[in-house]
Amino acid sequence: MVAAARPAGRRNVLFIAIDDLNDWVGCLGGHPDVRTPNLDRLAARGLLFTNAHCAAPLCNPSRAALMTGLRPSSTGVYDNRQPFRKAAPSRDAITLPQHFMTQGYRVVGGGKIYHGSFPDPVSWQEYFPSQQQTKPPDPMPRQRPLNGIPDTGHFDWGPLDVPDSEMGDWKVAEWARRELGRKHDRPFFLAVGFFRPHLPWYVPRKYFEMYPEEKVTLPLVKDDDLDDVPPIGRRFARPEGDHRKVIQYGQWRKAVQAYLASISFVDTQVGRVLEALDEGPNVQDTLIVLWSDHGWHLGEKLHWRKFALWEEATHNVLIFAVPGLTRPGSRCSRPVSLMDIYPTLVDLCELPRRSGLEGVSLMPLLRNPAAAWDRPAVTTYLRGNHSVRSERWRYIRYRDGTEELYDHLNDELEWHNLADKSEYHTIKQELARWLPAADAADGPREEGVSEAED
């Protein structure tokens, strides 16, 4: 029997998500020590967006926005306790994988794609390990915490003496390898969600040994950096919280080491998936998109974690490798949003376009990374706080009207807030045009879901 010819354009999609990975990736240049040979190789075979930003700097709203194509300020999904299926504006959303399913794709996922508490079973035909348990468990140290900081939950790090094969992310990669190793009778949308470098930073010891503690480079931090930040921004930074404890317990260097180790661990898992694609029967017909859901602070602005509107928290990884389209090793510095992935994949696979999506297709930039692009990337953190990132500027406006403005041409660490200087009035006005017109009321919160489960 001769297989039916595949309609032109119906490429397979390999959709890889990495949790909590900031720009500490070799090809993005965010940290001098980090070693990510597999992510670098992926960037070298496609197009790396060097100025990509999340819709929200925390898991649930970032992923909900990416997968529904709707902004946090349109749905009211702002924090980690608000399922998008309970918010009126997104209750009946047709998610990205659902749209592929209606077009005849085989749509399967594994690991962390949606926020852990809110899997969306209607988005998938199959899930690994299961629709209810979306993430395989990880081995844990016998005694916690390893870092000696009391009462901080999963804000902990240290090496594990286990083989890679006991790690949840290894199992997700192994499942994806099986999917990629065989032919399918329909085009597929395969979503592979990795959990590290999300906390806790427990990964096998060999990854810690890649980064000897005494040689680790700490982020460059200005001790009085928050002095020119408005009160709401200072509250987001919480310098008396994590940062004080990390210093008090002498853990800064160890934390950076552990984050780097966790990145190299997940990089290895990405490499295993790409190897299976390359050695399998699908490589000619499969496009790859790889993204991380937001950035991460490790002391910059005396802040840790995400939960803020500065560069470290909003900047993320975004790579497209599309056979026959993206030029190997190309880079694009135009500001783009994770919300642009949905309409872009629709175009790349020649699916019917969907109205109402709030991102835009990146096709012009995939074809020509230097194409004109006047659109900045907007990030929202909790109701009424937004940042607008253009190629040169970052403008932040908090819900009380207070502002920050940074000039990335002269201040890439965002140390000098220019918002109060009169000569920048016009710049601020131009950027403010992109602020969402309305801030939807907070969506319903699920009882019993902890905000700490981030």
**Nearer to Ca ion (CB atom), residue 66 or residue 180:** 66
In this structure, the number of other CB atoms found within 10 A of the CB of residue 205 comes to 12
Helix (H), strand (E) at residue 428: helix 425-432
For 318-343, give the DSSP string: EEEE-TTTSPTTEEE-S-EEGGGHHH
Q: Which of residues 269-308 bind Ca ion (CB under 5 A)?
A: 293
Please name the residues in contact with 212: beta carbons below 8 A apart, sequence gap of 6 or more.
Answer: none
Task: List the catalytic residues.
Answer: 59, 115
**Nearer to Ca ion (CB atom), residue 105 or residue 195:** 195
Please name the residues in contact with 145: beta carbons below 8 A apart, sequence gap of 6 or more.
Answer: 152, 155, 156
Helix (H), strand (E) at residue 191: strand 188-194
Applying CB under 5 A, among 169, 225, 267, 312 the residue interacting with Ca ion is 225
Contact between 55 and 61 (Cβ < 8 Å): yes
| String marking each residue 341-360 x if it binds Ca ion according to CB under 5 A | --------------------
CB of 254 to Ca ion, least distance (A): 22
When asked if residue 23 is in the footprint of Ca ion (CB under 5 A), the reply is no
Stretch that binds Ca ion, among 40-48, 134-142, 208-216, 218-226 (CB under 5 A): 218-226
**Nearer to Ca ion (CB atom), residue 20 or residue 267:** 20
Stretch that binds Ca ion, among 17-25, 126-134, 361-369, 396-404 (CB under 5 A): 17-25
Please name the residues in contact with 152: beta carbons below 8 A apart, sequence gap of 6 or more.
Answer: 145, 242, 245
Q: Give the span between the Cα atoms of 398 and 388, in whole angstroms.
A: 12
Total of chain residues touching Ca ion, rule CB under 5 A = 7
| String marking each residue 371-410 x if it binds Ca ion according to CB under 5 A | ----------------------------------------
Q: Which of residues 42-81 bind Ca ion (CB under 5 A)?
A: 59
CB of 59 to Ca ion, least distance (A): 4
CB of 195 to Ca ion, least distance (A): 9
When asked if residue 19 is in the footprint of Ca ion (CB under 5 A), the reply is yes
Closest CA to 116 of 151, 74, 154: 154
Q: Give the span between the Cα atoms of 323 and 208, in whole angstroms.
A: 35
**Nearer to Ca ion (CB atom), residue 177 or residue 428:** 428
CB of 226 to Ca ion, least distance (A): 6
Applying CB under 5 A, among 40, 228, 391, 453 the residue interacting with Ca ion is 228
**Nearer to Ca ion (CB atom), residue 179 or residue 225:** 225
Applying CB under 5 A, among 11, 14, 17, 20 the residue interacting with Ca ion is 20
Contact between 336 and 53 (Cβ < 8 Å): yes
Residue 388 exposure: Cα atoms within 13 Å on the Cβ side: 19
In this structure, the number of other CB atoms found within 10 A of the CB of residue 49 comes to 28
Q: Which residues contribute to the site for Ca ion (CB under 5 A)?
A: 19-20, 59, 225, 228, 293, 415
